[in-house]
Structure 1
Amino acid sequence: MNLSAAATPVAIVFSDAAPAAGTVTLTFDANAVTYGTDFSTLPAADGNTVVVPFEAGATTVHFTFNKLIDAIEGQVKNVAFTVTAVSFGGTISANDSIQLNFNETASLGSALAAETGGPTQPNQVYIDLSSGTMTMAKRVSWDLGFYSGTDFRVVLNSSLKMAAKKLETTNIDEVQAADETMIIAQGQGIASQVDNPTGVFDNDASTHDTAIDAISANDADNKVYLVNMGSNPAANAPAIGADGSGSGSLRGWMKIRVLRNGNDYKIQYADIASITHQEVTISKDTAYNFTFFSLTTKNVVPVEPQKTQWDLNFTTFTNLLGGTTPYYFPDFVVTNLKGGAKAYMVSITDTVTYDSFTKANVVQDNFTDNQTNIGSNWRSTSVNGPNGPVSQFVLKTDRFFVIKDPAGNIYKLKFTGGANTAGERGYPTFQYALLQ
């Protein structure tokens, strides 16, 4: 993580709620910095050890890193923390360390390749332009995202073509039946059963923000939902130029009901044929846009970086054509709107080019509240053949994009490719530069 703030919360996520109160112990290695002079922590360190307490039932615990002196040009200053112990004997699994870098300024730009995983695109890739870092998560690793803001909202994993239908009952233990009309195909599905692709939560009763209604403080208002779990990526690579990201096996059906629990969420869930259910509390974590939960593994799982630490998400996506028709898109780019990032497209003309575009050319009013402003606008996926359209990745070279990150840095970005030399899709590349 590149430090842009004086105080940065760092989260440690548990796969399940803690069975008892306890502590997490971390040790750190400092590079060109001194504790108490260049940095400090809360809780305070003892030597090179930080002990962070948590309460019973916690699913996340934080410590705060305080940057006391910035790096100057040419300096490399960082501190690497590693989780070394949990008091009640929990298992320390992957992603057990983090390096915090003292950055003086945002990156001036770079050329990157988002590792979405090839033609079946199994990965979601989060890009932080100011540091040039990428964070990857398996698309099938999560199903529901629980919003950490003021609202109580639950989103579906649109990268898997999920859908949710509100039922008339509040009894999660009633047996339900699959509803084949909920399956999302190209031009098939019901708009109200998928999340609004803009990503805006405006709480306007006349608009559709999420497939699952805002969670009410009145339990009686929170109905059971039938959930189509969508589709896996294809098990085998598709034909050259074709998409294999959403043509795998169907993931089945679940039923869920979400309630409030103070400032947390409580989710009840079960297979549709079950007459009993399971229940778990999901805590809001304001360092992140969402807390993610897997109905398959029954765990809270790490997916997105902290909300100010990413700008773009390379993913697959369930969009709405004309605002009314669900349509699944591979090779899609989502902007971190909820974290404060925005984007807009610039068409290349005789007088406006990527190379000539400067900060003076930026039009602030073009940064609209829509996380899909890049979306699929950077590519097309077919060409005209002798017998009609043929699947083939096509890069659109007549445009580029302007991105404002959560810290206010503004970048220009152009895509340079989306297929490998064999013509297989799922290999996006781009370059970008900081506008100063």
Structure 2
Amino acid sequence: MRKFTKLASIAFISILGFTSCERDNKTEVLPVVPPSDGSKMTLEGGEGGTDAANAVYVDLSTDKQTSVARKSWSLGFYSGSAFRVILNNHMAYSAMVTNQTDIKAVSSTNVDLTKLNYNFQAKDQLQNYDDTAGRIEKSLIAEIKATESENKVYVINPVHPNADKSNVWKVKINRGTAQDYVLQYAKLDDTNFKSLTIKKDNKLNFNFISFSEGPVNVEPTKDEWDLVWTKSIYYTAMGGAPIPYFFSDLVFINHLNGVSVSEVVFLGKDNKSNGQPNYEEFDSSKLSSIKFKNNRNAMATSWRNTLSVGVLRDRFYVIKDKAGNIYKLRFLAMGVKDDGGKRGYPEIEYKLVKSN
């Protein structure tokens, strides 16, 4: 009898174990959260008016905005396959390459800081700034080579418009083991430098560092934002040639993570219809005529006129996110002239046209 009881106990425990293993081996099914149907949103650019303190990242499918101080970071380290580093265009950082590969060999005695001063009349001044189109292969800092001796020292001015040796930094960036960057950085005339290892993270477009604070969080994860409203160095034309200009109220899309956009202008001269559907009329049946662009500055300044009317009422935008959700979006106010609102707090409205 005792033997039977013992065998029964073993069998019962085995059944429990099997049931437990079966439960543990089941794949947990997470609920699918449908994309937002749309909303209205006032972006929290912060105080400062035309010099609003924040960049604001927007995720349309979750109705989420993330405000980040523009001055909170200095360099962004790309997490994609290339080894590229970007400057903080949101604060109009200027920079130039030296002919040195040893960071200790660079100081104010052998660098002409006047070349870093902002001068919109100077020829080729744009070369002192990172690519305004955000093309990662055209960043001012050259691709970081595997061989340390091939990587030059750069001098960076974080203070717009003029460079002063007390504010200027020098940096040398190398590759570490695996997918790491190794940053050496110091004030221009410091003889010692700090060293920092930055690891790539495939959930982010970039990992960011601040010269004063070290690693900092800036952009949301790359799947959690579609566009960013900010102030940034950009370009304009003077005498037929492009020159750098520090623009307020710029909008860039998350082009590095597959977001694309199309502008729909539905009013022509004298505010008469040109045959294109307006915002209210646009629906999924009109998508066949849309041609999406995935360049970062496909929206940029095209939605507003800061010298007169503010938000342009003759257009809206169709935005496709990485997941394939398609939204129509228009700007309602930005705080210029008669468009209402408050500068630094632009207002948008968007509506889901088609889910993925």
Asked whether 1:275 is paired with 2:191, we answer yes
Distance 1:67 1:157 in 2: 41
Unmatched segments (≥5 aa) in structure 2? 1-19, 268-272
Asked whether 1:180 is paired with 2:114, we answer yes
Query: How big is each residue's C-alpha offset from its partner over 1:320-346, in whole Å with a ceiling of 9 and x where there is no partner?
Result: 335842111111111011122111211
Q: Is the 8 A contact 2:168 2:188 kept in 1?
A: yes
Q: Is the 8 A contact 2:36 2:352 kept in 1?
A: yes
Q: What letter matches 2:140 in structure 1? A: A
Distance 1:194 1:368 in 2: 24
Corresponding residue for 1:26? Answer: none
Asked whether 1:124 is paired with 2:55, we answer yes
Q: What letter matches 1:211 in structure 2? A: L
Corresponding residue for 1:190? Answer: 125
Asked whether 1:148 is paired with 2:83, we answer no
Quote the offset at 1:186 in angstroms: 5.1
What is the aligned counterpart of 2:29 among 59, 68, 82? 68
Distance 1:414 1:187 in 2: 35
Q: Map of 1:252-331 to 2, 5 A cutoff?
A: 252-262=167-177, 263-297=179-213, 299-321=214-236, 324-331=242-249
What is the aligned counterpart of 1:333 among 240, 251, 254? 251
Q: Is the 8 A contact 1:161 1:184 kept in 2?
A: no
Distance 1:187 1:422, change over 3 A: farther
Instruction: Tell me the percent identity.
Output: 32
What is the aligned counterpart of 2:96 among 159, 162, 165? 165
Distance 1:405 1:138, change over 3 A: same
Corresponding residue for 1:369? Answer: 294
Quote the offset at 1:368 in angstroms: 2.2
Q: Is the 8 A contact 2:180 2:198 kept in 1?
A: yes
Distance 2:189 2:288 in 1: 54
Higher relative contact order (CA 8 A, sep 6+): 2
Quote the offset at 1:200 in angstroms: 2.3
> What is the DSSP-based 3-state SS (H/G/I as helix, E as strand, rest coil) of the residue aligned with 1:308?
helix
> What is the DSSP-based 3-state SS (H/G/I as helix, E as strand, rest coil) of the residue aligned with 2:223?
coil
What is the aligned counterpart of 1:212 among 121, 131, 141? 141
State TM-score, norm by structure 1: 0.66
Distance 2:197 2:259 in 1: 29
Q: What letter matches 1:317 in structure 2? A: S
Corresponding residue for 2:39? Answer: 110
Bigger Cα displacement from structure 2, 145-154 vs 373-382: 373-382
Aligned residues: 310
Q: Is the 8 A contact 1:230 1:251 kept in 2?
A: no
Distance 1:230 1:365, change over 3 A: farther
Distance 2:251 2:75 in 1: 19
Q: What letter matches 1:150 in structure 2? A: S
Q: What letter matches 1:272 in structure 2? A: L
> What is the DSSP-based 3-state SS (H/G/I as helix, E as strand, rest coil) of the residue aligned with 1:360?
helix
Q: What letter matches 1:121 in structure 2? A: A
Q: Is the 8 A contact 1:229 1:250 kept in 2?
A: no
Q: Is the 8 A contact 1:178 1:253 kept in 2?
A: no
Distance 1:313 1:277 in 2: 33
Distance 1:412 1:187, change over 3 A: farther
Quote the offset at 1:360 in angstroms: 3.0
Quote the offset at 1:230 in angstroms: 2.9
Distance 1:67 1:336, change over 3 A: farther
Q: Is the 8 A contact 2:119 2:125 kept in 1?
A: no
What is the aligned counterpart of 2:325 among 409, 414, 428? 409
Quote the offset at 1:184 in angstroms: 3.2
Quote the offset at 1:140 in angstroms: 0.9
Structure showing the higher helix proportion among its residues: 2
Query: How big is each residue's C-alpha offset from its partner over 1:345-388, in whole Å with a ceiling of 9 and x where there is no partner?
Result: 111132321111122323587322311111111111113xxxxx
Corresponding residue for 2:352? Answer: 434
Distance 2:301 2:340 in 1: 21
Q: Is the 8 A contact 1:186 1:328 kept in 2?
A: no
Distance 1:67 1:370, change over 3 A: farther
Query: How big is each residue's C-alpha offset from its partner over 1:35-71, in whole Å with a ceiling of 9 and x where there is no partner?
Result: x9xxx9xxxxxxxxxxxxxxxxxxxxxxxxx861425
What is the aligned counterpart of 1:227 among 156, 162, 187? 156
Quote the offset at 1:250 in angstroms: 11
Asked whether 1:342 is paired with 2:296, we answer no
> What is the DSSP-based 3-state SS (H/G/I as helix, E as strand, rest coil) of the residue aligned with 1:431?
strand
Q: Is the 8 A contact 1:145 1:157 kept in 2?
A: yes
Distance 2:168 2:289 in 1: 44
Distance 1:166 1:346, change over 3 A: same
State TM-score, norm by structure 2: 0.80
Structure showing the higher strand proportion among its residues: 1
Quote the offset at 1:199 in angstroms: 1.8
Q: What letter matches 1:343 in structure 2? A: V
